[in-house]
Homo-oligomer: A and B are copies of this chain.
Amino acid sequence: MKNMFIPSHYKKLKRGPQVILPKDIGIIITYANVNKNSICIDAGTGSGWLSISLAKICKQVYSYEIKEEFIKIAEHNKKIENLENLIIRNNDITKKIFEKNVDVITLDLPNSEKVVRHAYKALKDNGYIVGYVLHMEQLKKFFNKLEKYKFKNIICIENIMRDILVRKVGVRPSTKGIWHTGYLIFGQK
């Protein structure tokens, strides 16, 4: 069966650690106002699917990753897409963010909430912070940190994609599918 969660142009990319799926990447793009003028930071890089998707759209992307094995996969994927505006940094974003006047910061870490105070400093006014979190507990922690740092327009969502089967015998949703990947939380400086 074809996998509707991986559109064909993503299939050439390697998958090492668990990736953020295109169904969630798309929402990050429209909800964080990602566009060709954007300067973005992404952490952790992982296999680089989100960083690469952003770099195909943005002016510049800085991607933070502490594990060298993941950086190798992401560099491999970057080469496939031939992207010069993606810089993958071997730095720990929970310690420091080097860039300033950033438009968007996306976070997919087990402890993303620790980055909120650095993100606040690095972001432009009205810039977006985005958390991709797996559990309700992490959502709550991240949310509370956004409130503490006075981020505005906080939105917490779950984006769910459903497969529809169109066949001679009739149209109906697919029996089985992916129900949950992660929650997305957005705040604006």
Contact = CB atoms under 8 A, between A and B. Distances in A.
Interface of A: 2, 4, 7-9, 22-23, 25-36, 53, 56-57, 134-140, 143, 153, 155-166, 169-181, 183, 186, 188
Number of copies: 4
Contacts of A7: 30-33, 153, 155, 186
A163 B138 CA distance: 16
Main secondary structure of the interface of A (DSSP, over half): mixed
Contact of A30 (B35, B53, B177): B53
Given A169-B135, A175-B181, A30 B22 contact: yes
B179 A166 contact: no
Given A162-B179, A176-B177, 10 more contacts: A7-B31, A7-B153, A8-B188, A25-B30, A135-B169, A136-B171, A156-B163, A160-B161, A173-B179, A176-B176
30 contacts: A7-B30, A7-B153, A7-B155, A7-B186, A8-B153, A22-B27, A22-B31, A26-B29, A27-B161, A30-B53, A35-B56, A36-B56, A134-B170, A135-B172, A136-B136, A136-B170, A137-B171, A139-B166, A140-B171, A156-B163, A157-B161, A158-B161, A158-B173, A159-B161, A160-B162, A174-B179, A175-B178, A175-B179, A177-B179, A179-B179
A151 to B, nearest CB: 12
Contacts of A172: 134-136, 180
